[in-house]
Amino acid sequence: GADEAAADATRRWCDGTARPLEGVFFGVKDIIDVAGAPVTAGSHTTGDRVAVTDATAVARLRAAGAIPVLITATTEFACGAPRNARYGAVTNPWDRSRWTGGSSTGSAGALAARLVPLALGTDTGGSIRVPSALCNLTGIKPTYGLVPRTGVASLSWTLDHIGPMARSAADL
Q: How far apart are CA 117 and CA 158, in angstroms?
A: 29
User: Which residue in 29, 107, 132, 141 is the catalytic one?
Assistant: 29
Beta strand 91-92 with 161-166: parallel, antiparallel or unpaired?
unpaired
Q: How far apart are CA 86 and CA 94, in angstroms?
A: 23
User: Which residue in 43, 127, 132, 141 is the catalytic one?
Assistant: 127
**Residues near 137 by Cβ (< 8 Å), separated by ≥ 6?**
108, 111, 112, 131, 165, 166, 167, 168
- Judge whether 141 counts as a catalytic residue: no
Residues pairing with 163 in the sheet: 121
Which active-site residues does the annotation give? 29, 103, 127
